[in-house]
Structure formats: structure tokens, C-alpha cells
A and B are shown apart, each in its own frame.
Chain A
Amino acid sequence: MTQASPDVVLSINNIEVIYNKAVQVLRGLSLRVPRGQIVALLGSNGAGKTTTLKAVSGLLALEDGEMTRGSVVLDGVDTARLKPHELVRSGLFHVMEGRRVFEDLTIEENLISATYALSGRRAASADFELVYEYFPRLFERRRGLAGYLSGGEQQMLAIGRALIARPKVMLLDEPSLGLSPLLVENIFTIIARINREQGVSMLLVEQNASVALAVAHTGYIMETGKVVIDGPAEKLAGDPDVREFYLGMAGEGAARSFRDIKHYKRRKRWLS
């Protein structure tokens, strides 16, 4: 692996992750996020996308997962020694899969909770207005409990919390999960705007490959714990092989790759 060049804000170098000291999920995965770009990380269910994000944000430890090899470098700093909350405070914000809003807190309180990401950063003050500009709907409901928001609104809140934190890099885990096509388009338009207007670099994990590649600059496709293909987003989106074998966008529904089947078998063994 070559050293990260200065315009790379996040680089993941050859990492391996093992859960419960037994299950190896990542096997030498590498990728880099150039500053200011959106990088899409795609792959089928169970490929290890969420695990990759957790390895980066340090949340693995909460699930008895461990990064046994490789390194993660944020803006030139190896993150190995940083605790999750310290990582957040140094500019890496993980919008977790399934939104994870604090349901019994109000929208406002959810946003306030994200101000902890600003602790210890000089001259950093929370900008609630900014969130409400991108998501006027949240302003209307700011005193209501987050648990009563619709799925789409909760996703807005999850991204809104990330905006409060003013990160260098946002990790977004399946923001399209469970949303209607119209809402997906809506959310992704805003994600692209935030990237452009706030200069936030993003690592975007998605099942919905076409919409992810539409907003991303670069794409990586992973299978069973490592990257199999990467390249500029338009190129990946246009490549018929990629479409057929990795993105499940072929004419027929049978876009199952060989590795998928192998993965399935491996899982079966786990369960029995």
C-alpha cells in the first residue's frame, strides 16, 4: 500500500476484521476517500459494508469486533489509538444504518446531542439554522419526539445531526433504507448538495447502486470482505459486466455472482 497523498482525507489500508474472535468478515480491504469527494461503497447483503464503516468509526468494539490488521488514516493521522468519541471530535461522523435517532428525545435534543462532536474544537459552534435550511420539515417538528417522525424524516434528522458535527468526513450507511423512490431521490439530492456546499467528504454505503453512483465521484464494489472493482462512478455505472454481476441491474433478476453463492454457503455453515 502506498502512503496516503495529501488530497486523500480518509484512507483505509488493508484492514481485516474479526467478530467474536472467530468470524472473519473483512479480508484486506483498502479504499481511499479523496478530499471533497463522495465515494460509494457497494456490495450485496453481508458483504461487509457496515462492518467497514464501523471499523473506521471505532464502533466495532461495542459488538465484540476487532480490527486485527491494517490501518485507518484520517487526515494524515492514524486512528488506531482514538476512542470512538475522540474520533468524532476529530472530524469523522458515522450516520449509522437504520438511522438510530434517539426516539424519546425531541428533534431539537437530537441535534443538541450531536454538539458533543464539537467539544474540544476551538471556534466551533453549533449551527442549527443550517440543518433547518436543508431540512425545513425538521424545523416544523423540532419540539416533537423523534420517535414519531416518519422514516424519511428520521433519515433527515440523522443527516442533520451529522451536519451539526461539521465533520471532515461523513460515513453514510444506507440512507435509502426503507424509503420510497421519491424520498430517496430527495435525500440524495440533499446529500449531493451538502457535499458540494459544505465541502464534506463522504463515504457512502448503499444497496441502491444506481442512485449511489449517480451522486458519487468514485465507486468501490466489495464482495465477501474485500474490494473487487473500483473506478470512477460513471464508468462503473456504465459497465455492463459490473451492472450484471455486481449491481444486480441486469435484465433478468438472476444477477447472483459466483462469490455470492459461496458466501451464502459460508453463512449456512455458521448457522448450523
Chain B
Amino acid sequence: MIDFDWLLLFEVSLAGIGSGGLYALAGLAFVLIFKATKVVNLAIGEMLMMGAYFFFAMASTLGWPIWLGVVVAVLGSGALGALIERLLIRPMLGESPISVFMITIGLSSILVGAVELIWGADQMRLPDFMPSDPVLIGEAMVPPKIFYGFLVATGLIAVVLVVFRFWRGGIALRATASDQAAAYSMGINVPRVFSLAWVVGAMVAAIAGIIVGSISSLSPTMGVFGLSVLVVVIVGGLDSVAGALVGGIVVGLVEAWSGTYLGGQYKMLSTFSLLVLILMVRPYGLFGTHEIERL
């Protein structure tokens, strides 16, 4: 006890917060879609994966410059989001939440199948594009990819938060989230808000996917990341952007701590214990306002 390695704790915590930022970003993608459309999107992990593979196709296969690869991959993912909304979700309008939920499960298998068909099941590496010099915070070393990933993630979340507070479209989204019929009666084009939420959600997911993919690697199983994202958004409250941020960092920390001090096999166990604990105290998550759909 006396020789407790405080520096290690500090480093582990920083790494936890770092990956928490990515969870938060992916959580944000989920929350945007849920907030507007009330769809629990189980395919969020796979949408992340698609973004990363799009980037791989542009930057590795076609050899385009990194920035162009990112832009095109993000735009492509947005188009995919619009397509998903139009073909799979819109026809389900008015159906029970459980049917829509099942549709998103189907969607995740479709996406995994598509990736395996096009790119195969092997692991692949994304081109390195982040600075690789180690980052020092005080005496603590932070892996550079996690550090820069965190910066991008929090920056993006901040932008989205500001946009939703002040841009009129953000007000339309929140109005739609709060009362759909009333939003219609204001002259808001509600189906367009739905579609926009899927587009922006898919784009945010793609950015998270590109960062996650370049920190670890690319494979069709990358979608399991989505499992942790679900924990994040349930902890934060399904419809709260701030909740996704806090939930992401909390889950990131818990995973990092349990991975270091208990062993890697305890990561999932501790995350889910945390989930159960928080739901017992706050059934709608830390910041959630709406009732969680009974599935």
C-alpha cells in the first residue's frame, strides 16, 4: 500500500479518459439518432466500422491523401445514414419500438456481411496519420493516438453541443425530440429532421470509427465496440448529449482501471456492474429525461 504507484494510476486514468472521449463521440452518434427518432440503434458499432472501412478504401486502397480520405469517408457514411433511414427506418414509422429495434439488429448483420464480402474477415491496418511522438502530461506518458483521438472527439462534441444550442436546426431537433406532433404543428418538417439525425449520426460515428480503427486495427468484429457504446449511452441517459460525454468518460475510466488492476478479463464485468448499479439508482441514466423504451 505504501508503495502505491500514483504515477501509474495517473497514466491509466489519462488513458481511460482518452478512450472515454471516443466512447463519448460514438455515444453522441447514438444519442443524436435516438433523440430525434426514438430509435434504439443497435447497429451503432457497425456504423462506426463502416466509416473506418470507407476511410481504408480511400486512403489505403486508392492511396488518396489522408484529409481527402477522411472527408470522403465521412460524407459517404452520411449518405449511408440517409439510405438506412429512407429504406429501413422510415417504412417502420408508427410500428412498435421492438420491431424497429429488431431492424437495427438486422442492419448490423447486413453491414458486417457487406464488409466481409468486400474486404474479407482479416485484420487490416489503417495508415498512420496522427503524430507519433509520445505526449507528456506532467510526468505521465499518454499514448499519442489516444491523446489526439481525445482532442478530436471532445472538439467535435463541443461543436455539436454549440450547434444544437444556437443553430435553428438544433432547436428543430430538440423540439421534435420533445413533442413530435407539436413540432409538426410549428411547421417543422419532421421527417426531414429524422433523416438529418441519421445523416449527422452516421457522420459522427464514421469519425469515431476512423479514430478507433487507427488506434487499434480494422476488422469486421470492430462492431463490438458498439456494446460499450450502448453501456455509455444507457449510463448517460439515452437522449442526453451531456450524458454521452460523462457516460463515455466514466466507462472509459472504469475499463482502464479494471483492466490494469483486476486484469483484462474483468473489463466487461466491471462495466456491466457499473451499468446495473447506475440503473438501480437512476433508472433513466445519469442525465436522461425520457422513459427508456420497454423492449
Q: Which residues of A contact B (CB under 8 A)?
A: 57-59, 62, 64, 83-85, 88-89, 93-96, 100-105, 109-110, 112-119, 161, 165
Q: Mark B168-185, 1 if CB is under 8 A from A, else 0.
A: 100110110011111111
Most buried by A among B172, B174, B186: B186
Q: Does B189 contact A (CB under 8 A)?
A: yes
**For chains A and B in complex, what number of residue pairs have CB atoms within 8 angstroms?**
75
Looking at chain B's contact residues, the main secondary structure is helix
Q: How large is the interface on B (under 10, 10 to 19, 20 to 34, 35 or more residues)?
A: 20 to 34
Q: Does B188 contact A (CB under 8 A)?
A: yes
Q: Are B289 and A88 in contact (CB-based, < 8 A)? A: no
Q: Which residues in B have their C-beta under 8 angstroms from that of A59?
A: 181, 184-185
Q: Are B168 and A62 in contact (CB-based, < 8 A)? A: no
A96 to B190, CA, bound (A): 17
Q: Are B184 and A119 in contact (CB-based, < 8 A)? A: no
Q: Does B65 contact A (CB under 8 A)?
A: no
Q: Are A85 and B189 in contact (CB-based, < 8 A)? A: yes
Q: Which residues of B contact A (CB under 8 A)?
A: 94, 168, 171-172, 174-175, 178-190, 289
Q: Are B172 and A57 in contact (CB-based, < 8 A)? A: no
Q: Are B180 and A62 in contact (CB-based, < 8 A)? A: yes
Q: Are B187 and A119 in contact (CB-based, < 8 A)? A: yes
Q: A85-B190, A102-B178, A112-B168 are in contact. Are A96 and B289 (CB under 8 A)?
A: no
Q: Which residues in A have their C-beta under 8 angstroms from that of B189?
A: 83, 85, 116
Q: A64-B94, A115-B168 are in contact. Are A104 and B185 (CB under 8 A)?
A: no
Q: Are B181 and A113 in contact (CB-based, < 8 A)? A: no
Q: Are A116 and B179 in contact (CB-based, < 8 A)? A: no
Q: Are B185 and A84 in contact (CB-based, < 8 A)? A: yes
Q: Are B185 and A93 in contact (CB-based, < 8 A)? A: yes
Q: Are A85 and B179 in contact (CB-based, < 8 A)? A: no
Q: Which residues in A have their C-beta under 8 angstroms from that of B172?
A: 113, 116
Chain B min CB distance to A44 (Å): 24
Most buried by A among B171, B183, B185: B185
Q: Which residues in A have their C-beta under 8 angstroms from that of B188?
A: 85, 113, 116
Q: Are B185 and A88 in contact (CB-based, < 8 A)? A: yes
Given contacts A105-B174, A117-B187, 4 further A-B contacts (CB under 8 A): A93-B185, A102-B178, A112-B168, A116-B189
B187: contacting residue among A64, A88, A102, A104, CB under 8 A: A88
A100 to B184, CA, bound (A): 12
A117 to B181, CA, bound (A): 14
Q: Are B182 and A104 in contact (CB-based, < 8 A)? A: no
Chain A min CB distance to B173 (Å): 10
A-B contact pairs, 18 of them (CB 8 A): A62-B184, A85-B184, A96-B185, A102-B178, A102-B179, A103-B178, A104-B178, A104-B289, A109-B171, A109-B174, A109-B175, A112-B168, A113-B183, A114-B186, A117-B186, A117-B187, A118-B187, A165-B186
Smallest Cβ-Cβ distance to A121: which chain B residue: B187
Smallest Cβ-Cβ distance to B169: which chain A residue: A116
Q: Which residues in A have their C-beta under 8 angstroms from that of B187?
A: 85, 88-89, 114, 116-119, 165
For the complex of A and B, list the 9 residue pairs with the smallest distance between their C-beta atoms, beginning with the closest: A117-B187, A88-B187, A100-B182, A116-B187, A102-B178, A84-B184, A113-B175, A116-B188, A85-B189
Q: Which residues in A have their C-beta under 8 angstroms from that of B184?
A: 58-59, 62, 84-85, 88
A118 to B186, CA, bound (A): 9
Q: A85-B189, A112-B168 are in contact. Are A100 and B289 (CB under 8 A)?
A: no
Smallest Cβ-Cβ distance to A98: which chain B residue: B182
Q: Which residues in B have their C-beta under 8 angstroms from that of A161?
A: 186
Most buried by B among A84, A89, A165: A84
A115 to B167, CA, bound (A): 13
A109 to B289, CA, bound (A): 18
Q: Are A88 and B94 in contact (CB-based, < 8 A)? A: no
Q: Which residues in A have their C-beta under 8 angstroms from that of B168?
A: 112, 115-116
Q: Are A112 and B171 in contact (CB-based, < 8 A)? A: yes
Q: Are A62 and B181 in contact (CB-based, < 8 A)? A: yes
Q: Which residues in B have their C-beta under 8 angstroms from that of A58?
A: 184
A59 to B179, CA, bound (A): 13
Most buried by A among B172, B181, B184, B289: B184
Chain B min CB distance to A18 (Å): 16
B175: contacting residue among A57, A84, A105, CB under 8 A: A105
A161 to B178, CA, bound (A): 16
Q: Which residues in B have their C-beta under 8 angstroms from that of A88?
A: 184-187
Chain B min CB distance to A112 (Å): 5
Chain A min CB distance to B242 (Å): 12
Smallest Cβ-Cβ distance to A104: which chain B residue: B178
